[in-house]
Amino acid sequence: FLVDKANYRHFMAKEIHEQPEVVGHTLRRYVDMAAERIALPQRLPFDFNDIGRISITGSGSSSYAGYVAKYWFERLARVPVELDVASEFRFREAPLRKGDLAIFISQSGETADTLAALRYVKAQGLHTLSVVNVPTSAIARESETMLQTLAGPQIGVASTRAFTCQLMVLAALAVAAGKSRGELSDSDETRLVQRLIEIPRLMATALATEPQIEKLARDMAKCRNVVYLGRGTSFPLALEGALKLKEISYVHAEGYAAGELKHGPIALIDETMPVVVIAPYDGVFEKTVSNMQEVAARGGNIILMTDAKGAREATIDPLVTILLPDMPATFTPMVYDIPMQLLAYHTAVVMGTNVDQPRNLAKAVTVE
C-alpha cells in the first residue's frame, strides 16, 4: 500500500473507497474461493466443540464489530457470546471458565484497555484469539492465535475499512465455528461462503450511493442531533454509524435498538430530528417498520437505508431512501456500513472539521 491520498481529499475518503479491495484480500485469506469453503490460515489450538462460551472484547468501533459477531456466532454456531467494551471487562469480575475462548478485536493491536483485558483473560487459562490489523502489535504477539485483517495502514483516525475487514474475519470464523460444532452442514457452509464471496462486489455497489449521500449531508450538517436505529445485526451498526458521525463531524448522534425507541428516545422525535433507519429486508424488517411508523407519526425525518424489497414494503414515506443492493440477510453489515461511513464523512466535510484527525481523538489509545 502506498500511504498517500492518491486523488482523494482525505485519507478517510480513500480508505472508504478501498474497501471492496481490502475486504476482498481479507476474504481470500480466510476462504478457499474455488472450493467455496472456509480455509483458516492456521489450525486453531482449540476445538469449538469444547467451547462453552465466547467472550468478545474491543474498544470503539472494534467493540461494535464484536457486537455484530455476537449475533453471527450465536446464530450460526449456537455458542453463547458475551460482549464487553475492554475498559469494563476486567472490572466486572465475570466468572470465566478455563478452556473457553476469548476474542480480542483491535485495529492497532495496541489499545491499552484491550491489551489489559487480554492479559487478564490469559492469566485465567482461557484460549485467546485476536483479530488485529497490525501483526507485530502487542495484542497480536500476546494472544495465542492471531487472525489478521488485511485492511492496510489505517491513517484516518476514524476506523472504516479496519471495521469491515474485522467483520469479514469474524464472519469466516463464525461459519468455521458453526461447521465444527455440527450446526452447519457442508451445503450450509457453501451457501454462506458464496455470500461472503459476493460481499466485495456488493460493497462496490453501495459506494455508488455517494452522490445522493453527499446531498443529504448538507442537511445533516444543519442538525444538532441525529438518532440511528436498527434491529438484529443492524443494531450494532446503528451504534457504529452514530459513533462515526459524532467523532468526525461533532454532530451529536445516538444509536439505539429500534425496539428501544418507545422506551425513551421517542421523546426526542420532532420535525427537526433526522432518524437514520438501517433496515435491510430481513427477518426483523416488519418490526422495524412499526418503529418507523412511530417516528413518522411524530414528524421525524426518516432516512431509510434498505433494499428494493424493503423500500416497497416500508409503508411509510421516508424523507430519503438510500437504496442498497439486494442480498441475503446474514452479512448485510459489511455493505450497510458503507453509506454510514459516507454520511459521516460528507457531513464532516460540510462542517469543515479535520476529518482525518478529529479533535481530542487518537488513532491508538495507549492509556487506560
Query: Which active-site residues does the annotation give?
Result: 363
Q: Build a one-symbol-per-residue string for 19-58: x at contacts with ligand G6P by CB under 6 A, - elsewhere.
A: ----------------------------------------
60 binds ligand G6P (CB under 6 A): yes
Q: How far is the CB of 156 from ligand G6P (least distance, A)?
A: 8
94 with 110: CB under 8 angstroms?
no
- What cell does 62 get? 472494534
Q: Which of 13, 79, 138, 158 binds ligand G6P (CB under 6 A)?
A: 158
298 with 269: CB under 8 angstroms?
yes
107 binds ligand G6P (CB under 6 A): yes
Q: Which amino acid is at 360?
A: N
125 with 99: CB under 8 angstroms?
yes
Residues 6+ apart with CB under 8 A from 116: 86, 90, 368
365 binds ligand G6P (CB under 6 A): yes
Q: How long a stretch of residues is the chain?
A: 368
Strands 54-58 and 31-32, bridge-based pairing: unpaired
Q: How far is the CB of 13 from ligand G6P (least distance, A)?
A: 16
Q: Which residues pair with 37 in a beta bridge?
A: 32
Nearer to ligand G6P, 75 or 363 (CB): 363
Q: Which amino acid is at 303?
A: I
Give CA–CA dist 15/248, Å, rounded.
15
Nearer to ligand G6P, 134 or 349 (CB): 134
- The 3-state DSSP class for residue 201 equals helix
Q: Which of 106, 234, 288, 291 binds ligand G6P (CB under 6 A)?
A: 106
200 with 325: CB under 8 angstroms?
no
Q: How far is the CB of 86 from ligand G6P (least distance, A)?
A: 8
143 binds ligand G6P (CB under 6 A): no
Nearer to ligand G6P, 157 or 323 (CB): 157
Give CA–CA dist 131/140, Å, rounded.
8
Strands 37-38 and 31-32, bridge-based pairing: antiparallel
62 binds ligand G6P (CB under 6 A): yes
How many residues touch ligand G6P under the rule CB under 6 A: the total is: 16
Q: Which of 55, 57, 87, 114 binds ligand G6P (CB under 6 A)?
A: 114
159 binds ligand G6P (CB under 6 A): yes
Q: How far is the CB of 339 from ligand G6P (least distance, A)?
A: 18
Which residue, judged by CB position, is nearest to ligand G6P in the bound state? 60
- What cell does 166 get? 474485522
353 binds ligand G6P (CB under 6 A): no
Binding stretches for ligand G6P (CB under 6 A): 59-62, 106-108, 111, 114, 157-159, 361, 363-365
